[in-house]
């Protein structure tokens, strides 16, 4: 019997809802809704417009049920952010965006309470000031009354599932982005919370990826005219949903989930901790089936997205394909940026910041859109090389293939540049990796697919993968040395 499941993937800039139909052998996709995810600035704070997102989720359920008999639904999102509920289960405020400035200085204050080595040894998580631990520290410092009134905090996919079925749980993949999880025991670290002075009572029960957490509320069914389908906590962090969809049978491989963020790493059976991993600031994130994703967060297509937004505000609308055509005419390896430099983190006039970065590092600033896009794409490819080398250094393994997943695979230029910079083959696809991983986890939870290995085989048979071989490797090697000199990566 064919199963139809609804996967809702909400990223940092947009969301989409896709029906996954499984006939026992292959998965077919049907997108039924797409929507923007625009943050809102109010009184100096950057918020997610969560009520609008709930409306879009409801619209997705209505549209999906109108065209297919849906068996279950699951939401995946970005990591680190959360919503706070009061003692009655009501949302206390719109969730704050991770790019908001409230966490500035919180990392340094955390290290006054617990040493960096001990902090990393417990959580195994890359230190980024956007992490949930530092967001909660900011609340404790700037709004302690709010924190005292908080009954429960739910990571974003868990918050949406709570709205749908009433379950107050924390799916473990997204919970592991919080930097509050004991990565060895896969439990909340009460000891760490105590050292940071954060209340443990606000953290809900942890559940594994692929857990059926409830059934769609009766009031929502009545409002939308849909049946009470199952709500499933898949790998709620979109990176881990994408990771689950990697079409490989190999045990050792590199993956790159490329979207607003680039997340590059490998899959391990146990966390990789210790001095080298700490020095390189690499994260250990819990994935589907208890696997550990040993990866590095890199600023990805965010820089180009902000360039497009700036140019659109100036009256010129560009598609990504059009920008890549302009970049093809630009001179290669003319200038580089470090996409992870803090100057590129907040929204704003990104093209001018790129020019200023190049001037400050003694490079010729890019003049037009094509030169800017070429600079960003080549810099991203170089950053992928830096990160791949760090992963190999920590694991002591050699990798000859990089599986590139997600929206970034639509850019043939970025795929080919990544192959050239890294000097290994890039297998690009599936584009819809996050959606497919979400669907696969639902099918496993429903008993339709046996396990993760079977799901990956099915996804591989259901998806197109394009192979990019390294080209002009000598040119890339020379340019890589220049990149390291001007960026200090």
Kindly state whether residues 17 and 161 are assigned to the same domain.
yes
The residues facing 296 across adjacent strands are 264
Q: Residue 190's pLDDT is what? A: 96
- Provide the number of structural domains found in the chain: 2
Q: Kindly state whether residue 439 falls inside one of the protein's structural domains.
A: no
Q: How far apart are CA 216 and CA 72, in angstroms?
A: 9
* Close Cβ partners of 126 (under 8 Å, ≥ 6 residues apart): 281, 282, 283, 296, 297
The CATH number of the domain holding residue 387 is 3.30.420.40
Where do we find the tokens 């009501």? Answer: 90
Q: Kindly state whether residue 438 falls inside one of the protein's structural domains.
A: no
What confidence category does residue 268 fall into, taking pLDDT thresholds of 50, 70 and 90?
very high
Instruction: Evaluate if residue 112 carries a pLDDT over 90.
Output: yes
Mean pLDDT of 424-445: 96
Choose the final residue of a domain: 200, 233, 266: 233
Per the CB < 8 A criterion, the answer to whether 79 and 177 are in contact is yes
Q: Kindly state whether residue 272 falls inside one of the protein's structural domains.
A: yes
Choose the final residue of a domain: 178, 205, 233: 233
Per the CB < 8 A criterion, the answer to whether 175 and 181 are in contact is yes
Kindly state whether residues 349 and 420 are assigned to the same domain.
yes
Instruction: Evaluate if residue 408 carries a pLDDT over 80.
Output: yes
Q: Kindly state whether residue 472 falls inside one of the protein's structural domains.
A: yes
Instruction: Evaluate if residue 338 carries a pLDDT over 90.
Output: yes
Kindly state whether residues 348 and 415 are assigned to the same domain.
yes
Kindly state whether residues 278 and 382 are assigned to the same domain.
yes
Q: Residue 372's pLDDT is what? A: 98
Q: Residue 320's pLDDT is what? A: 85
* Residue-range definition of the domain harbouring residue 93: 3-233
* Close Cβ partners of 81 (under 8 Å, ≥ 6 residues apart): 48, 95, 96, 97, 98, 132, 135, 155, 156
Kindly state whether residues 483 and 413 are assigned to the same domain.
yes
Mean pLDDT of 404-423: 95
Q: Kindly state whether residue 443 falls inside one of the protein's structural domains.
A: no
Q: Residue 105's pLDDT is what? A: 97
The residue from 238, 329, 389, 475 that is catalytic is 238
Q: Kindly state whether residue 241 falls inside one of the protein's structural domains.
A: no
Kindly state whether residues 54 and 161 are assigned to the same domain.
yes
Q: Kindly state whether residue 436 falls inside one of the protein's structural domains.
A: no
Q: What is the pLDDT of residues 67-87, one digit of tens each?
A: 999 999 999 999 999 999 999
Lowest model confidence (mean pLDDT) among 170-179, 189-198, 319-328: 319-328
Annotation says 121 is catalytic: no
Kindly state whether residues 308 and 216 are assigned to the same domain.
no
Retrieve residue 407's tokens.
């929206």
Instruction: Evaluate if residue 1 carries a pLDDT over 80.
Output: no
The pTM of this model reads: 0.91
Kindly state whether residues 221 and 281 are assigned to the same domain.
no
Instruction: Evaluate if residue 489 carries a pLDDT over 90.
Output: no
Mean pLDDT of 285-301: 94
Kindly state whether residues 329 and 207 are assigned to the same domain.
no
Mean pLDDT across the chain, nearest whole number?
96
Kindly state whether residues 317 and 264 are assigned to the same domain.
yes
SS3 labels along the chain: CCEEEEEEEECCCEEEEEEEEECCCCEEEEEEEEEECCCEEECCEEECCHHHHHHHHHHHHHHHHHHCCCCEEEEEECCCCEEEECCCCCECCCCECCCCHHHCCHHHHHHCCCCHHHHHHHHCCCCCCCCHHHHHHHHHHHCHHHHHHCCEEEEHHHHHHHHHHCCCEEEHHHHHHHCCEECCCCEECHHHHHHHCCCHHHCCEEECCCEEEEECCHHHHHHHCCCCCEEEECCCEHHHHHHHCCCCCCCCCEEEEECCEEEEEEEECCCCCCHHHHHHCCEEEECHHHCEEEEEEEECCHHHHHHHHHHHHCCCCCCHHHHHHHHHCCCCCCCCCCCCCHHHCCCCCHHHHHHHHHHHCCCCCCCCHHHHHHHHHHHHHHHHHHHHHHHHHHHCCCCCEEEEECHHHHCHHHHHHHHHHHCCEEEECCCCHHHHHHHHHHHHHCCCCCCHHHHHHHHHHHCCCEEECCCCHHHHHHHHHHHHHHHCC
Q: What is the pLDDT of residues 27-57, one digit of tens each?
A: 999 999 999 999 999 999 999 999 999 999 9
Q: Kindly state whether residue 111 falls inside one of the protein's structural domains.
A: yes
Kindly state whether residues 202 and 297 are assigned to the same domain.
no
What confidence category does residue 488 fall into, taking pLDDT thresholds of 50, 70 and 90?
confident
What confidence category does residue 250 fall into, taking pLDDT thresholds of 50, 70 and 90?
confident
Choose the final residue of a domain: 207, 233, 259: 233
Q: Residue 83's pLDDT is what? A: 98
Kindly state whether residues 200 and 300 are assigned to the same domain.
no
Q: Residue 71's pLDDT is what? A: 98
């Amino acid at each position: 019997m064919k199963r139809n499941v609804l996967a809702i993937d909400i990223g940092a800039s947009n969301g989409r809802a896709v029906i996954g139909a499984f006939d026992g052998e292959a998965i077919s996709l049907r997108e039924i809704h797409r929507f923007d995810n625009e943050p809102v600035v109010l009184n100096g704070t950057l918020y997610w417009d969560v009520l609008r997102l709930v409306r879009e989720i409801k619209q997705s359920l209505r549209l999906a049920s109108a065209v297919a008999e849906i068996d279950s639904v699951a939401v995946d999102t970005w990591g680190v952010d959360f919503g706070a509920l009061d003692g009655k289960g009501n949302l206390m405020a719109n969730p704050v965006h991770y790019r908001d400035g409230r966490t500035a200085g919180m990392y340094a204050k955390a290290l006054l309470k617990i040493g960096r080595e001990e902090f990393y040894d417990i959580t195994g998580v890359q230190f980024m000031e956007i992490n949930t631990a530092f967001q909660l520290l900011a609340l404790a410092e700037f709004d302690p009354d709010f924190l005292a009134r908080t009954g429960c905090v739910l990571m974003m996919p868990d918050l949406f599932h709570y709205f749908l079925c009433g379950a107050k749980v924390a799916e473990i993949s997204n919970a592991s982005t919080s930097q509050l999880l004991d990565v060895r025991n896969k439990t909340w670290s009460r000891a760490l919370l105590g050292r940071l002075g954060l209340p443990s009572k606000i953290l809900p029960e942890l559940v594994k990826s692929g857990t059926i957490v409830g059934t769609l509320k009766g009031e929502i069914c009545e409002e939308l005219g849909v049946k009470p389908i199952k709500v499933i906590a898949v790998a709620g962090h979109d990176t881990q949903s994408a990771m689950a969809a990697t079409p490989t049978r190999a045990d050792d491989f590199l993956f790159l989930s490329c979207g607003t963020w680039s997340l590059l790493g490998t899959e391990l059976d146990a966390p990789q901790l210790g001095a080298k991993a700490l020095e390189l600031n690499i994260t250990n994130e819990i994935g589907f089936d208890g696997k550990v994703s040993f990866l590095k967060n890199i600023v990805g297509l965010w820089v180009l997205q902000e360039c497009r937004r700036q140019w659109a505000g100036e009256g010129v609308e560009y598609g990504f394909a059009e920008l890549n055509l302009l970049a093809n005419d630009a001179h290669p390896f003319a200038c580089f940026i470090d996409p992870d430099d803090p100057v590129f983190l907040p929204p704003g006039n990104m093209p001018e910041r790129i020019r200023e970065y190049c001037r400050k590092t003694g490079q010729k600033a890019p003049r037009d859109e094509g030169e800017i896009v070429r600079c960003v794409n080549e810099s991203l490819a170089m950053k992928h090389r830096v990160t791949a080398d760090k992963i190999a250094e920590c694991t002591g393994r050699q990798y000859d293939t990089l599986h590139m997943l997600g929206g970034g695979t639509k850019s043939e230029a970025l795929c080919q540049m990544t192959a050239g910079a890294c000097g290994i083959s890039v297998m690009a696809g599936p584009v819809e990796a996050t959606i497919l991983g979400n669907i696969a986890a639902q099918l496993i939870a429903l008993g339709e697919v046996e396990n993760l290995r079977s799901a990956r085989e099915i996804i591989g048979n259901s998806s197109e993968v394009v192979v990019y071989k390294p080209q002009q490797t000598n040119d890339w090697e020379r340019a890589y040395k220049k990149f390291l000199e001007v960026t200090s990566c």
